[in-house]
Structure 1
Amino acid sequence: MSEAQASQDASSRRVVKHSVIIAGHRTSVSLEDAFWRALKDIAAQEDVSLAALIARVDAGRGEANLSSALRVFVLERIQQRRLID
């Protein structure tokens, strides 16, 4: 693995905290940078804001932790794409 690839891999694993407003309440969500990038891509594909996408996942997460629910959402979306392709 090259030094550039190792640096990019480390950057993707870095946990980043973002503040979002969900149902009128501000909350913080900590996710690895790779998941934030994936969520932003999905939001752009669906032509919705990142906050709207997170709110949608939040509304359907039940008792799950929001960060975990977002990771599972991204994973399931990637798996769906692989089945379609």
Structure 2
Amino acid sequence: MKKRSLTIDGHRTSISLEDEFWDGLKHISTVRGCALIDIIREIDEKRKSGLSSAIRIFVLNYYKDPGA
């Protein structure tokens, strides 16, 4: 489990995720050709649960259907 601090729209926050989810996010950002923070910002805008949980769901859904 890794905890990282970052700023989203001027708000400082920390996210704790397992290494596999950080790796998944990095892979998705590489495939999309965008920064990791851009994906996290996108998830944050659409989430209906805690940010760490929303990221896990996003990564799981990506790998279930990478073309979506």
Summarize deviations over 1:11-53 as a string: whole Å, max 9, x none.
Answer: xxxx000111111111100000000000011011111111111
- Which has the larger Rg? 1
Is residue 79 of structure 1 aligned with residue 50 of structure 2? no
Unaligned runs of 5+ in 1: 1-14
1:60 Cα shift? 0.2
TM-score, normalising length: structure 1: 0.75
**Quick one: percent identity of the two aligned structures?**
43
Q: Return the structure number with greater helix share.
A: 1
Could you list the runs of 4 or more consecutive aligned residues of structure 1 that deviate by over 3 angstroms after TM superposition? none
Unaligned runs of 5+ in 2: none
The Cα RMSD (Å) is 1.0
Could you tell me how far apart the structure 2 residues matched to 1:46 and 1:20 are?
Answer: 20
Aligned length: 67
TM-score, normalising length: structure 2: 0.92
Q: Which has the higher contact order (CA 8 A, sep 6+)?
A: 2
